[in-house]
């Protein structure tokens, strides 16, 4: 089987690392000035390049012909690290080797000098998974490391790493990779692999990977395996189930227009058409999220096609932020609480949202009617009492949830 994209197109030198400029710069400087720390901790989201960077650092400090801190990737030491045959690079996955024995084994051997390189490099991935006794053993090793040993700890969850460990390390924080950086890397891979693409398609893939370059590369590969060497928007939509956006948008319009009847007819129609309801729910939530961003004049980082959003922007001025927030909360609750979403869950949410909006509208028109002959002061007074009285008519979160949960128990 051919090598997967994310391994094949992994960065090999610091300047090829995408989206982590400050980390690369710091490491390059420390290599050129020969001020290497004995222990580093790389913290950051999955797929942000921590392990790749650790391997580049291992090459850079052991390279026989490095230039300006960059490894030449052709000397004996670089090649053996690339080919994973180096005896001086030890990689441990703490997710599966998390016990004290694993760390003891490592510390027992640590005094052996490197085989061929200047440094023996230990990369401990997902270090937060170690058990407490294992952390204690590691701490002892970090307190008195031999000169030839360099530790690079990597974690996606820095809060689970004891402070005593962190304080022994030079900490470097990796960022979620930006949309633009992911697109640039995908363009690079497409050109190398002979994949026909437009930036629109890459944009869609990048948005689905939520800042993980590795996920984006894997998604690209899965698409090529599934549909061949030419990327097409329609196929990508089908693959990600994002082809239900139009349906979700129509449904949302009925809901926000407070058209309960049409909303229920629409959801019934969608259900009959065999669309995956949980995916539909995901799209509904994403669209509402985009509404909130647009309401606040934010056009960047939208998981939606920008052209489409330009058309939607004038429409959402008719809807209050309050109603949008109530609606997104209703739908998000269902999404988070249920592995399998039933059509009834969605229908109940629609009813809750429409009745919430009715109460809001009635409240407004009531106060407008009654305020006609009142002075400003009196009307303010009236409003506050009125809303107190009305507030118990609101379908509060508690009430609606209670209704939902009783109902689903029955089912
Ligand atoms: Zn080299």
C-alpha of residue 64 to centroid of ligand 1, in Å: 5
C-alpha of residue 68 to centroid of ligand 1, in Å: 12
CA distance 120 to 114: 5
Task: Report the percent of the chain where pLDDT is more than 90.
Answer: 55
C-alpha of residue 70 to centroid of ligand 1, in Å: 9
Q: Residue 49 pLDDT > 70, yes or no?
A: yes
C-alpha of residue 119 to centroid of ligand 1, in Å: 13
Mean pLDDT of all residues belonging to the chain: 84
C-alpha of residue 79 to centroid of ligand 1, in Å: 7
pLDDT band at 362 (very low <50, low <70, confident <90, very high): low
Q: Residue 55 pLDDT > 70, yes or no?
A: yes
- Compare 294 and 60 and report the one with higher pLDDT: 60
CA distances (Å), origin 342, targets 6, 267, 271, 283, 339: 37, 11, 10, 16, 10
Q: What ipTM describes this predicted complex?
A: 0.99
Q: Residue 384 pLDDT > 80, yes or no?
A: no
Q: Residue 78 pLDDT > 80, yes or no?
A: yes
CB atoms within 10 A of CB 250: 15
pLDDT value for 289: 87
CATH number for the segment(s) 5-173:
3.40.50.300
Q: Residue 338 pLDDT > 60, yes or no?
A: yes
Q: Residue 387 pLDDT > 70, yes or no?
A: no
- Compare 317 and 368 and report the one with higher pLDDT: 317
Which tens digit of pLDDT belongs to each residue from 88-107? 999 999 999 889 898 988 88
Beta 149-155 vs 89-93: how paired, if at all?
unpaired
pLDDT value for 224: 96
C-alpha of residue 16 to centroid of ligand 1, in Å: 16
C-alpha of residue 271 to centroid of ligand 1, in Å: 59
pLDDT value for 396: 42
Q: Residue 306 pLDDT > 50, yes or no?
A: yes
Which tens digit of pLDDT belongs to each residue from 103-156? 988 888 888 888 889 999 999 999 999 999 999 999 999 998 999 999 999 999
C-alpha of residue 82 to centroid of ligand 1, in Å: 10
Report domain 243-410's class.
mainly alpha
C-alpha of residue 59 to centroid of ligand 1, in Å: 6
C-alpha of residue 385 to centroid of ligand 1, in Å: 77
pLDDT value for 317: 80
For 179-240, the fitting CATH number among 3.40.50.800, 1.10.8.60, 3.50.50.60, 2.60.130.10 is 1.10.8.60
Q: Residue 37 pLDDT > 80, yes or no?
A: yes
Q: Residue 404 pLDDT > 60, yes or no?
A: no
C-alpha of residue 1 to centroid of ligand 1, in Å: 28
**Angle in degrees, CA 353, 354, 360, rounded to 5:** 90
pLDDT band at 363 (very low <50, low <70, confident <90, very high): low
Closest CA to 40 of 58, 15, 25, 64: 58
pLDDT value for 297: 79
71, burial (CB in 10 Å: exposed 0-12, middle 13-18, buried 19+): buried
Task: Report the percent of the chain where pLDDT is more than 70.
Answer: 83
C-alpha of residue 14 to centroid of ligand 1, in Å: 13
pLDDT value for 290: 84
Q: Residue 310 pLDDT > 50, yes or no?
A: yes
Residue spans per domain, the chain: 5-173, 179-240, 243-410
Q: Tokens 């961003």 label which residue?
A: 293
Q: Are 71 and 90 in contact (CB under 8 A)?
A: no
Residue range 193-219: average pLDDT?
91
Residue range 236-245: average pLDDT?
80
Residue range 44-66: average pLDDT?
96
């Amino acid at each position: 089987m051919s090598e997967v994209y994310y391994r094949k197109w992994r960065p090999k030198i610091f300047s090829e690392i995408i989206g982590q400029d400050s980390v690369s710069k710091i490491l390059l400087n420390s290599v050129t000035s020969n001020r290497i720390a004995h222990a580093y901790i790389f913290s950051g989201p999955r797929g942000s390049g921590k392990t790749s960077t650790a391997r580049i650092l291992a090459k850079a400090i052991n390279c026989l012909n490095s230039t300006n801190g960059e490894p030449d990737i052709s000397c004996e030491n670089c090649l053996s690290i690339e080919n994973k045959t180096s005896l001086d690079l030890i990689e441990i996955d703490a997710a599966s080797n998390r016990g004290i024995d694993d760390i003891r084994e490592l510390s027992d051997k640590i005094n052996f000098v490197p085989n061929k390189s200047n440094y023996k490099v230990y990369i401990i991935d997902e270090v937060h998974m170690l058990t407490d006794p294992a952390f204690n053993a590691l701490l002892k090793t970090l307190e008195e490391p031999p000169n030839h040993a360099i530790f690079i700890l990597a974690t996606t969850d820095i809060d689970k790493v004891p402070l005593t460990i962190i304080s022994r390390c030079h900490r470097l924080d990796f960022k979620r990779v930006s949309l633009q950086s992911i697109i640039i890397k995908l363009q690079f891979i497409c050109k190398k692999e002979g994949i026909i693409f437009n930036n629109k398609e890459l944009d869609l893939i990048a948005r689905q990977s939520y800042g993980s370059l590795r996920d984006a590369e894997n998604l690209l590969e899965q698409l090529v395996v599934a549909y061949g060497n030419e990327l097409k928007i329609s196929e990508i939509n089908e693959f990600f189930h994002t082809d239900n956006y139009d349906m979700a948008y129509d449904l949302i319009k009925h809901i926000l227009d407070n058209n309960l009847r049409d909303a229920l007819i629409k959801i019934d129609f969608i259900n009959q058409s065999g669309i995956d309801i949980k995916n539909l729910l995901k799209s509904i939530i994403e669209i509402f999220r985009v509404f909130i961003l647009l309401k606040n004049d934010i056009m960047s980082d939208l998981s939606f096609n920008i052209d489409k959003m330009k058309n939607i922007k004038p429409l959402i001025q008719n809807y209050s932020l309050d109603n949008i927030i109530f609606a997104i909360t209703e739908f998000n609750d269902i999404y988070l609480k249920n592995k399998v979403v039933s059509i009834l869950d969605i229908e109940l949410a629609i009813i809750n949202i429409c009745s919430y909006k009715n109460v809001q509208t009635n409240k407004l028109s009531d106060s407008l009617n009654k305020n006609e002959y009142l002075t400003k002061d009196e009307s303010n007074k009236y409003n506050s009492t009125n809303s107190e009285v009305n507030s118990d008519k609101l379908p509060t979160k508690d009430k609606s949830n209670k209704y939902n949960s009783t109902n689903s128990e029955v089912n």
